[in-house]
Amino acid sequence: MTTSTHQTTPVLAIPTPVARAATAAGAALTLGSTFLAWTWTSEFPGDLTVTGYPGGLQVLTLIGAALTLLLTLSGYGIKGLRWLTPGGSNSPVRLAALGALGTMGFTVGAISVELGGVVNLEPGAWIGLVGAIITVAASLGLPHDQNITDTTEPTALERFLNSLRAPTPGRPKELPSWAEILIIVAAFGIGLFVATYGIDTAYPELFVGYLIITGFAVTALFKAGLMARLSALTTKYRSIAVAAAFVAAAVFPFTQNTDQYTLIAVNILIFATVALGLNIVVGLAGLLDLGYVAFLGVGAYTAALVSGTTASAFGVQFPFWASVLTGAAVSLVFGVVIGAPTLRLRGDYLAIVTLGFGEIFRIAVGNLDGVSGPRVTNGPNGVPNIPDLNFFGYNFGESHTILGFELGAYANYYLLMLLAMILVVLVFSRAGSSRIGRAWVAIREDETAATAMGINGFRVKLIAFALGATLAGIAGTVQAHVQSTVVPEMYVFAGPVPPNSAFLLAAVILGGMGTISGPLIGAALLYMIPAKLQFLSDYQLLGFGLALILLMRFRPEGLIANRRAKLEYHETDQLDVPDETLAGTTSGTTKAGA
Amino acid sequence: MNTMTTTTPETATTVLDASGVTMRFGGLTAVRNVDLSVKAGEIVGLIGPNGAGKTTFFNCLTGLYVPTEGKVSYKGTVLPPKPHLVTQAGIARTFQNIRLFANMTVLENVLVGRHTRTKEGLWSALLRGPGFKKAEAASHARAMELLEFIGLQDKADHLARNLPYGDQRKLEIARALASDPGLLLLDEPTAGMNPQETRVTEELIFAIRDMGIAVLVIEHDMRFIFNLCDRVACLVQGEKLVEGTPSVVQADERVVAAYLGTPFEGAPGADEVAEVEAAEAHSTTRTEGETQ
Ligand SMILES: Nc1ncnc2c1ncn2[C@@H]1O[C@H](COP(=O)(O)OP(=O)(O)OP(=O)(O)O)[C@@H](O)[C@H]1O
Ligand SMILES: [Mg+2]
């Protein structure tokens, strides 16, 4: 429905009806092609040789094409489909078309490269590719969804980027509340399906295709205004939405037949939980902690040493609840010991001290081996043979059948880790929206003004820092049992395997500082990309760096923007904004109070 | 100079009493041996040319700077030079260069101002007992009340950085008032405002005074100051030159001279020179090059 928006010259000068029809036709063509054979040999993973039903990357292309088609039909104003695009329909069509072309093009490229030449493509692939190109080209002939009031003549790139912008949707029609709740449940069901699909991707090509199509499709749904509708609903039924999210997460292990992908999921949960804890420190209180993983290590080592393993220097076996409390307490003590002297200072001291602490921790546990120092941690060999948990006879190391589903060992730990994550989410959201949370943000915004408003900066920062350390410590106690071995090299500043301090920070920044879902998504991406694309290993950090640079350039607030950051970086529809007025004041702290 | 005792009524209690406040930055003495007191119900103005040390004096009062010498007491108790303790005691301030929490909402800014008057710590936030909910509700109510007082209740959800300039200055005042102060320090509250906004601010300050809050205000707008204040002190090059009723200060040719830029050396009377020398004699071991 473009009636309420201004029509601006599209990127390509095609009459709108023609463009719309061609978009639909192209999408239909691509869609049809996914039922044909794309290559002649099943050497290419996913078996794209079958005519009759799609497989592997064809499914992803099919989803892209189908979404494009649906959005285009919604653009025609077809009844029953209009709810898809409450914002604008043309920019989502363009994005979905780009997504379809992306997966299609990637598949064609991958087949040609891996099998050695375009001769390996069957006609079906060519049909799909041509269809996808037609779709994108025609969609560029559709009018803009949002009129850009810019007097200067835009360049081609600007025109293209503008064509992807869409207005925020108006207020939705009231639905009965059971319907709204059903929508939330359905949305989280879809979310679970998408996440599970990603974790279960069996070969790198499929994962790349998955990233391409989900990236474009999610953006398209954002532009269509569907996500805004959904987030309005989740705000309205907050507790239901939170419950639905956790139920969806808890269902995951029941969808798995083997432990292979559950292990990935457990590790994602550990990484994400720790990233969320770090988000309290970095995102809320604005304290740059470069050695956060050490607190995870403190918790893990503590749990390992009291777990009753023969490798422990202490011959004790604590019940799990006691070892969680011990791990949390020891991490808390370390947090206070590191924080107390440094948090009195302003500026970058904390970053340097925490960086140092992270390294000292790793080296120290590497040296407490009975040779260089007292024998506590077995040095580089770490603490192996950490026994599996046992709750009232429920052994976490064994498979159990629940509700007719076989739950493997990692599924048990997955559910336990999910509980730990719920705890951290609860702490984050409750602390964040309270007096202490406001004090953290105030300190982050302007420490001088905050202290002048009566906030004891040191105290409040120490609470944030110690709380972050404690939460990481709790995650560490679970991690020790999941891994059954802890070694110093798990807790480095930067390394190929998350969680490490650099990746934790990256997950927070990539996902969105100060939000709950941001670090979770950031952590999931940062864990899955290296795990799924192992062939990239040499270029992984390079790509990671590039991705961060691009992100900072185009989306400085991270993938998920919190309300503040959204207003902060993209204040398009605010009137009379004095942009400069506060710009200089927050940074100039040298002249206190001036 | 004994102006303090001669120009103000003795009846009211003293809210602020700063005596012998001196602030040196290396060789530069930004504030030199300044005495100033504010009594309950008073609006006191602090004027002086640029660089006179007015803001530095404020920073000494509020604990952002630790004064090299001198002490500051509030309602009879000596204040420690820690900003949060000063605010806790009952002195709130605004800043010359607006220092709002730019990326917090208008309401949140005021809520932060309530920090010292609420107790809920981390545990209470995590456990969310009835006490927590009651305290949050009370803070919200008080903050909205203050926003209504300054007329920003409709913009409670806006980001502070997106407010027009004049509203930002007002919001700073509301945020300061949220700590239920007994004394409010305003550093150039009308800087950058048009005459009409200045008028509104003037009314606002009168209303604050009527709430029983003493006000100490720095301003360059003389008409504003002389309209508003019961008493005005003039700082020049870190020293208090005169203090008295607006009419006395207005008529003082040394003030006029200081603003017009007549060299300071010629201006002060003999008593001040003596006072300065006396202060210097027993306060410093080395004679700093008095450059300015
Ligand atoms: N932190 C500091 N370090 C060194 N010098 C300082 C510092 N703060 C203030 N000064 C100096 O102290 C003197 C007084 O400055 P102050 O800001 O108090 O003046 P002011 O009376 O507020 O002037 P204005 O009317 O321009 O605001 C100036 O010379 C200034 O440069
Ligand atoms: Mg000043």
**What angle, 0 to 180 degrees and rounded to 10, lies between the N-to-C axes of helices A123-139 and A57-75?**
30
Atom number, ligand 1, closest to the C-alpha of residue B96: 27
Residue B54 lies in a domain: yes
Residue whose Cα lies nearest atom 11 of ligand 1: it is B30
Tell me which amino acid residue A161 is: L
pLDDT at B281: 54
Domain A259-531 sits in CATH at: 1.10.3470
Whether residues B125 and B226 fall in one domain: no
- The verdict on residue B223 lying in a domain is yes
Whether pLDDT at A8 is above 70: no
Contact A582 B65 (CB under 8 A): no
B234 in ligand 1 pocket by Cβ < 6 Å? no
Q: Write the pLDDT tens digit of every residue in B186-231.
A: 999 998 888 999 999 999 999 999 999 999 999 999 899 999 999 9
- In tens, the pLDDT along A267-302 reads 999 999 999 999 999 999 999 999 999 999 999 999
Paired strand residues for B236? B239
Instruction: Using CB atoms within 10 Å of the CB of residue A9, give its burial: 0 to 12 exposed, 13 to 18 middle, 19+ buried.
Output: exposed
Per-residue three-class SS string for A354-394: HHHHHHHHHHHHHHCECCCCCECCCHHHCECCCCCCEECCE
- Least-confidence region, from A353-357, B144-148, B240-244, B260-264: B260-264
Q: What is the mean pLDDT of residues A352-361?
A: 90
A123, with CB counted inside 10 A (0-12, 13-18, 19+), is: exposed
Ligand 1 and B176: CB distance under 6 A? no
Atom of ligand 1 nearest to the CA of B220: 25
Name the band, by pLDDT with cuts 50, 70 and 90, for residue B287. Answer: very low
Residues of A in Cβ contact (< 8 Å) with B105 = 564
Our answer on whether the CB atom of B29 is closer than 6 Å to any ligand 1 atom is no
pLDDT at A256 exceeding the cut of 60? yes
Q: Which of B88, B100, B103 sits opposite A564 (nearest CB)?
A: B103
Q: Quick check: is B71 in a domain? A: yes
DSSP label at residue A174: P
Summarised one tens digit per residue, pLDDT across range A526-541 is 888 888 887 777 777 7
- How many domains does chain B divide into? 2
Task: Tokens 């993938």: give the residue.
Answer: A559
Amino acid at A150: D
Tell me which residue range forms the domain holding B62: 14-90+181-261
Q: Count of CB atoms within 10 A of residue B237's CB?
A: 20
Give the Cα separation of A196 and A256 in Å (integer): 9
| pLDDT given at position B276 | 52
Place of tokens 């879809």: A190
Residue indicated by tokens 């602020």: B16
Classify residue B191: in a domain, yes or no: yes
What pLDDT shows up at residue A499? Answer: 87
Give the SS3 label for residue A403: coil
Q: Are residues B167 and B51 in the same domain?
A: no
Determine whether the interchain pair B175/A453 forms a contact, defined as Cβ–Cβ distance below 8 Å. Answer: yes
Contact between chains at A592 and B65 (C-beta distance less than 8 A): yes
Q: What is the mean pLDDT of residues A18-46?
A: 87
> Taking 90 as the threshold, does the pLDDT of residue A419 lie above it?
yes
Distance CA A414, CA B83 (A): 47
Q: Is the pLDDT of residue B1 over 70?
A: no
Q: What is the pLDDT of residue A43?
A: 80
Q: What percent of chain A has pLDDT over 90?
A: 33
Say what the pLDDT of residue B15 is: 93
More confident residue, B1 or A38: A38
Q: How far is the CA of B27 from the centre of ligand 1 (A)?
A: 13
- In angstroms, rounded to a whole number, what is the distance separating the alpha carbons of residues A81 and A483? 48
3-state secondary structure of A321: helix
According to the model, what pLDDT value does residue A50 have?
A: 77
Which pairs from A206-209 meet CB under 8 Å and 24+ separation? A206/A45, A206/A46, A206/A56, A206/A57, A206/A60, A207/A528, A207/A532, A207/A533, A208/A106, A208/A110, A208/A533, A209/A57, A209/A60, A209/A61, A209/A103, A209/A106, A209/A107
Could you tell me if A457 and A450 are in contact, meaning their C-beta atoms sit under 8 angstroms apart?
yes
What is the DSSP code (8-state) at residue A281?
I
Among B142, B172, B202, identify where a domain stops.
Answer: B172
The answer on pLDDT for B12 being more than 80 is no
Among A3-12, A180-189, B54-63, B69-78, the range scoring the smallest mean pLDDT is A3-12
Reported as a single tens digit per residue, the pLDDT across A304-320 is: 999 888 777 787 888 88
User: Is residue B186 domain-resident?
Assistant: yes
CA-based torsion, A540, A543, A549, A551: positive or negative: negative
Give the residue from chain B lying closest to A457, CA to CA.
B84
The verdict on B187 and B144 lying in the same domain is no
In a domain, B267, yes or no: no
Residue B279 pLDDT greater than 80, yes or no: no
B144 touches ligand 1 (CB under 6 Å): no
Question: Residue B43 pLDDT > 90, yes or no?
Answer: yes
The pLDDT tens digits for B57-95 are 999 999 999 999 999 999 999 999 899 999 999 999 999
pLDDT tens-digit readout, A38-68: 888 888 887 777 777 788 888 899 999 999 9
In this predicted structure, what is the pLDDT of residue B240? 92
In a domain, B268, yes or no: no
Give pLDDT, residue B8: 44
> Distance (Å, rounded) from C-alpha A57 to C-alpha A47?
9
- Which atom of ligand 1 approaches the CA of B57 most closely? 18
For chain A, which residues make up each domain, given as ranges? 2-236+572-593, 259-531
Q: What are phi and psi of B6, to 5 degrees?
A: -90, -25
Residues B18 and B118 in one domain: no
Q: What is the pLDDT of residue B207?
A: 95
Residue A572's pLDDT is what? 41
Examine the pLDDT at B109 and tell me if it is beyond 90. Answer: yes
Q: By C-alpha distance, which of A88, A60, A62 is closest to A74?
A: A88
Q: Name the residue among A333, A313, A321, A544 with its Cα closest to residue A416.
A: A321
Q: ipTM of the predicted structure?
A: 0.84
The distance from CA A258 to its chain's CA centroid, rounded to whole angstroms, is 24
Q: Chain A residues with CB inside 8 Å of B197's CB? A: none
pLDDT of residue A152: 65
Secondary structure of residue A522 in the 3-state scheme = helix
A89 touches A238 (CB < 8 A): no
Would you place residue B117 in the very low, low, confident or very high pLDDT band (cuts 50, 70, 90)? very high
Joined together, the tokens standing for residue A1 give 């429905």
Question: Average model confidence (pLDDT) for chain A?
Answer: 83
Determine the residue type at A350.
L
pLDDT in tens, A468-519: 999 999 999 999 999 888 999 889 888 777 888 988 998 998 888 888 888 9
Q: Quick check: CB of B48 below 6 Å from ligand 1?
A: yes
DSSP string computed for chain B: --HHHHHS-SSSPEEEEEEEEEEEETTEEEEEEEEEEEETT-EEEEE-STTSSHHHHHHHHTTSS--SEEEEEETTEEPPS-HHHHHHHTEEE--SS----TTSBHHHHHHHHTGGG----HHHHHH--HHHHHHHHHHHHHHHHHHHHHT-GGGTTSBGGGS-HHHHHHHHHHHHHTT--SEEEEESTTTT--HHHHHHHHHHHHHHHHTT-EEEEE-S-HHHHHHH-SEEEEEETTEEEEEE-HHHHHH-HHHHHHHHT--GGGSS-HHHHHHHHHHHHHH-SS------
User: Which ligand neighbours the alpha carbon of B94 most closely?
Assistant: 2
- Residue B83 and residue B187 in one domain: yes
CB B226 within 8 A of CB B44: no
Check whether residue B136 and residue B186 sit in a common domain. Answer: no
The count of CB pairs under 8 A between chains A and B is 153
| C-beta separation of A269 from A413 below 8 A | no
pLDDT beyond 50 at A571: no
Beta-bridge mates of residue B232:
B45, B244
Give B-chain residues touching A437 at CB under 8 angstroms.
125
Higher pLDDT, A573 or B132: B132
Same domain? B81 vs B117: no
What's the CATH number where B224 sits? 3.40.50.300
Alpha carbon nearest to ligand 1 atom 6, residue: B25
Asked if B59's CB is within 8 angstroms of A451's CB, the reply is: no
CB contact under 8 A, A582 and B160: yes
| B227 and B114 in a common domain | no
Q: What is the mean pLDDT of residues B143-159?
A: 93
Instruction: Please name the member of B116, B132, B163 whose beta carbon is closest to the beta carbon of A454.
Output: B116
Shared-domain flag, residues B208 and B250: yes
Question: Which of A346, A445, A572 best tests the B interface by mutation, with the highest count of B CBs <10 A?
Answer: A445
Residue of A nearest to B187 (CA): A594
Residue among A453, A451, A471 nearest A461 (CA): A451
CB contact under 8 A, B136 and A436: no
Instruction: Verify that B25 and B166 share a domain, yes or no.
Output: no
DSSP 8-state assignment for residue A87: S
Q: How far apart are CA A279 and CA A287, in angstroms?
A: 10
Same domain, B132 and B62: no
Assess if residue B271 is contained within a domain. Answer: no
My answer on whether omega of the bond before A15 falls inside 30° of 0, hence cis, is no
Distance of alpha carbon A523 from alpha carbon A525, whole angstroms: 5
Which residues, listed in sequence order, are joined to residue A446 by a DSSP beta bridge? none
Whether residue B74 is found in the same domain as residue B192: yes
CA dihedral B210, B211, B217, B221 (to 10 degrees): -50
pTM value is 0.84
